[in-house]
Structure 1
């Protein structure tokens, strides 16, 4: 998708003389003059046989084109709430090329959503994301109702979606005003997602649309329309593309190897979906959890002019982490303090201005700042200007991991897994002496660089040449007394190294990258490097920092598991069904933890995937 990046343009709407919401860009209204709720019920719910079709189902998935204000979603959600025979989980995947900004959406929903829908509308507005390209997962009813918003042109977005759809709501602007929303290519892309007996309904009854649906594999017919429209279109898929079940059934129990950021993220995601999780971790067996003593770390997204895969994954990871972790106990929840990423020189600053102009991201996500504004945000003088990410987060990794693993359904065992072995319909985890540590139908290797050794000892590494190139890279951070920095910065400062606000234990300065190290250890040389990086970020204006003695300060050292391209390896092994990988997080363990856990959780639960399929292919084990 990055080769043809298109900026996301938020919706601008007006109210016409009849009180209808009108889009000047397309010259069309958002809903029927006879009423949005009536249209939603007649065309989309009744047209798809709902709620009757979802009764007796555990999961039901709807795909919509044209989210608009979300009135169809609210009607569907309300029908789910009112039906005692509803499915346990309702998933909605909705495409929107021009999303409203949150304040505009909230105001319009207050105007158009009434009665029992008003509370639902308020919940929707409260979670509404920033207008950023990509997929955004919202959860309601304790996770029983999910809304996955795909922001971008339908023609560009739909081919990359991954879901098993039971019903389609086609609700774009009129075909003669917005032909891309009704094109044969789009219908083909949507039909690819169809589950057996999937249905489709739309208010449009154009012959061209019916032909496009027919060619895509739907048996269609005209039906009585709603309001001033005499006819609408209904259909059912003739033969859905065969797709394997996400989980063949049986006990929902997973064995997760590793209790670091990767393992904790996967374990929490599975536990949220009702799975029992057994975590086996070598560090905890020795009384040394992997991030013990790691006072604080930063989670900051990255941007790129072409919005490449790394930038898209980073943005998705940051948004997912904030959504998943904000409700944790205060000691573990992220502290959203913002990040200033300093530019190296004036030439880089000019290039960044061009990048931000091309991306057209909202300033609530990223904006350029000069040295004066950057210093004001940091509360300390900084060396240069740069960009400011208001959603940059300070996190205490050890406390975060403990909080994630404390969820109901998760048990943690000490032990070092040497290899795994298939037995019956599941997998056994064995230590170096061949003793069984645990067994489960599914196993997730989330033990960083150790996953390579486990795969090799288990005879599973040969088909994975990229995994065979994984290596461990040592690094350390230093705790700086806040008094040496006039109390420390108010936000994260990044650039050549980074400096974090006082976490209560001090200000963390980082970090080193040591190739070929035999051990990850705090050292005088490492502290000289990290203190020098901190001084450089601040323009070497703090004598107290310069006076600190390398080697005499507390710190933390650890390992990074690095793969070629520095993207993680996440997904099921093609040659070993039931074995999953969540490894190779490199320097971005916090960015990938929640998101990659959701990728594995959604795949096993048969939910719409939280990432586009091109990104899933890039991170897939290989």
Structure 2
């Protein structure tokens, strides 16, 4: 951003204001953003790019530092306009010897809008190709607090943006950062950021192999803070007229052998992730949404992936429904489930939109109208609107008349509208994700074995596949049939769901047209027509694993539809309807299961007395089945959960920065059920 003593333009200079989701910024000297809140420009209008290259690129010995690396990760404390990111990306791309992938993890409390960011980049035409790619994927919607993952450079570059306070965000993130761009408004302008807690968080998020750091500031509070946190600090000539700047190094942490029984000073070692070498070949068991997303995420990281599907084709279970809603799951508070699925929706939205724009999948972002069908639902919607009152790009309140006009048919009540939501064809999504990936269909895997060369898979007909560096189990309830995951049998709940099809002509004959303009959600849902059919439903029957079409389920769907559209329901006969039934898999806490496969018996041996409330520091690191991972339990939210889950697992397997903060990673960790059971004495060693 800016140096302590870069002069700002005088107050008499003309400027114009722009209101963004971050508040108000103003513009000076044409396209230079200025923050009235901090009283400073984001960068020098004359030499901001040159300063970035001098302070951060050269100050961290780039590009030399990333030579010969598989992955290289840069951490930053103030994203601002993204100038440092663009400069680092350009330097990385132009370097003749560089890491295979570049990861950039940054914090921003007040993200700029897309238009403001693009405007701010115009001053540097040499960065235009990078700015365009960033602008193309930058959300037009509000970025809520949390972590947002963006994929650029044909998959070779990832940007992980932490929205929120720098100290809070970095304190809750495990980053494995190789070098730091310690940037932000200067200590004199933003003293709340340059705090001992930030320097400690930076150390905790640094790579175990050590890290370097560079910053424009040479203020005493920065020098002392870095030294107290463990950095070795050096002064360097500052950029242009600045006298000094700081560079620093952090020594490597003491290595620890795999499977070591040493005690670790962490609060919850049972959630510590295994240390992985970069996998080159991965087997994915399951060819639905979760498996396809995992395969795609790994392929984008250069892995050779093979999918194993027990059915005759991919996307043949719940992922085979012709239309699925892609709808945000907001909560009125800061609940874990809401935070996970908010992040999941944002990630899926970007991915699906990109594929749809390229003509690779069927998807329409027509919005989802959610009716307030009960007092309880109205109360929930009121809470959402109170929390997101300033974000009409995410959610809008609608009266009955407004809702009717939005939907295209008269509806009996108002509700809320999600303008960035819509529908997607799950089979087309799975096909796009798996295009070019090797698949074995009609292949039921019954065993995962170990050899000196890696993991092997055995099928029900005795065939052996492999070896592989890692295996992801991404099936449904059959996940618990494998020895490594058999303990999950009581945690994975089958839920039968049946959808029904309504011919478009039924509605057009009743209303004179069938101009349904968006997805409608009530105690069920109905979609715009696709291939002459509206999809409506669906049933939710727990612990029912049959997939036969049932007239009773059609009757239920018609009855639910009749509460909103009685005329349509009266025109439908449940016995003559077509539809589709499939199984979803959910969990008791309604969160998916994502992460390394715990060794159940070893967990019981390692943590037998968790119910005593003893501190985590006395326990060993989590014991896992080596190189085996789980991805399941999404229920009806696979479209907004599975792509993010795949990004999590691919990042874990390939030793890359994670796309979620630690609290959410722990919440979806497979071992949570074991830990919870031990603490509640529901499981005993």
Q: Same fold (TM over 0.5)?
A: yes
2:361 counterpart residue number: 332
Residues 468/353 of structure 1: CA separation in 2 closer, same or farther (3 Å cut)? closer
Matches within 5 A, 1:143-182: 143-182=155-194
Residues 262/177 of structure 1: CA separation in 2 closer, same or farther (3 Å cut)? same
Task: Give me the whole-angstrom Cα distance separating, in 1, the residues matched to 2:544 and 2:625.
Answer: 32
Q: Does 1:320 align with 2:333?
A: no
Matches within 5 A, 1:477-556: 477-486=499-508, 487=514, 489-538=516-565, 540=566, 542=567, 544-556=568-580
Number of equivalences: 601
The DSSP-based 3-state class of the residue aligned with 1:116 is helix
Q: Does 1:201 align with 2:230?
A: no
CA shift, 1:186, in A, is 1.2
Task: Give me the whole-angstrom Cα distance separating, in 1, the residues matched to 2:225 and 2:640.
Answer: 41
Task: Give me the whole-angstrom Cα distance separating, in 2, the residues matched to 1:288 and 1:393.
Answer: 20
- Give the structure-1-normalised TM-score: 0.91
- Unaligned 5+ segments in structure 2 are 1-19, 259-273, 509-513, 599-623, 672-685
1:138 counterpart residue number: 150
2:195 counterpart residue number: 183
1:128 counterpart residue number: 138
Task: Give me the whole-angstrom Cα distance separating, in 1, the residues matched to 2:520 and 2:466.
Answer: 43
1:3 counterpart residue number: none
* Equivalent pair of 1:34/1:227 in contact (CA under 8 Å): no
* Equivalent pair of 2:388/2:395 in contact (CA under 8 Å): no
Residues 354/106 of structure 1: CA separation in 2 closer, same or farther (3 Å cut)? same
Q: Does 1:395 align with 2:424?
A: yes
1:36 counterpart residue number: 48
Deviates more, 1:221-230 or 1:443-452: 221-230
Residues 563/236 of structure 1: CA separation in 2 closer, same or farther (3 Å cut)? same
* Equivalent pair of 2:142/2:393 in contact (CA under 8 Å): no
Task: Give me the whole-angstrom Cα distance separating, in 2, the residues matched to 1:388 and 1:197.
Answer: 48
* Equivalent pair of 1:338/1:392 in contact (CA under 8 Å): yes
Task: Give me the whole-angstrom Cα distance separating, in 1, the residues matched to 2:373 and 2:315.
Answer: 38
* Equivalent pair of 2:326/2:345 in contact (CA under 8 Å): yes
* Equivalent pair of 1:294/1:555 in contact (CA under 8 Å): no
Deviates more, 1:467-476 or 1:426-435: 426-435
CA shift, 1:517, in A, is 2.5
Task: Give me the whole-angstrom Cα distance separating, in 2, the residues matched to 1:422 and 1:468.
Answer: 26
Matches within 5 A, 1:12-411: 12-16=24-28, 21-32=33-44, 35-110=47-122, 112=123, 114-129=124-139, 130-132=141-143, 133-195=145-207, 196-240=209-253, 242=255, 247-249=276-278, 252-284=280-312, 289-291=316-318, 294-325=321-352, 326-327=354-355, 330=359, 332-345=361-374, 348-349=377-378, 352-360=381-389, 362-406=391-435, 408-411=436-439
Task: Give me the whole-angstrom Cα distance separating, in 2, the residues matched to 1:298 and 1:260.
Answer: 16
The DSSP-based 3-state class of the residue aligned with 1:147 is strand
* Equivalent pair of 2:493/2:543 in contact (CA under 8 Å): no
CA shift, 1:402, in A, is 2.5
Deviation track 1:260-302 (CA, whole Å, cap 9, x = no partner) reads: 11111111111121211121111127x9932586221112111
Residues 17/108 of structure 1: CA separation in 2 closer, same or farther (3 Å cut)? closer
Task: Give me the whole-angstrom Cα distance separating, in 1, the residues matched to 2:253 and 2:646.
Answer: 29
* Equivalent pair of 2:501/2:533 in contact (CA under 8 Å): yes
Please point out which of 443, 459, 468 is paired with 2:490: 468
Task: Give me the whole-angstrom Cα distance separating, in 2, the residues matched to 1:356 and 1:529.
Answer: 31
* Equivalent pair of 1:482/1:488 in contact (CA under 8 Å): no
Alpha-carbon RMSD across the aligned residues, in angstroms, is 2.4
Task: Give me the whole-angstrom Cα distance separating, in 2, the residues matched to 1:88 and 1:292.
Answer: 33
CA shift, 1:257, in A, is 0.9
Please point out which of 445, 457, 468 is paired with 2:473: 445
CA shift, 1:82, in A, is 2.2
Deviates more, 1:426-435 or 1:338-347: 426-435
CA shift, 1:213, in A, is 1.0
* Equivalent pair of 2:79/2:108 in contact (CA under 8 Å): yes
The DSSP-based 3-state class of the residue aligned with 1:529 is helix
Task: Give me the whole-angstrom Cα distance separating, in 2, the residues matched to 1:482 and 1:608.
Answer: 47
Residues 109/618 of structure 1: CA separation in 2 closer, same or farther (3 Å cut)? same
The DSSP-based 3-state class of the residue aligned with 2:563 is helix
- Give the structure-2-normalised TM-score: 0.83
Residues 351/413 of structure 1: CA separation in 2 closer, same or farther (3 Å cut)? closer
Task: Give me the whole-angstrom Cα distance separating, in 1, the residues matched to 2:378 and 2:387.
Answer: 14
Task: Give me the whole-angstrom Cα distance separating, in 1, the residues matched to 2:670 and 2:564.
Answer: 37
Residues 208/518 of structure 1: CA separation in 2 closer, same or farther (3 Å cut)? closer
Residues 324/412 of structure 1: CA separation in 2 closer, same or farther (3 Å cut)? farther
Task: Give me the whole-angstrom Cα distance separating, in 2, the residues matched to 1:390 and 1:272.
Answer: 30
The DSSP-based 3-state class of the residue aligned with 2:248 is strand
1:616 counterpart residue number: 665
The DSSP-based 3-state class of the residue aligned with 2:542 is coil
CA shift, 1:430, in A, is 2.3
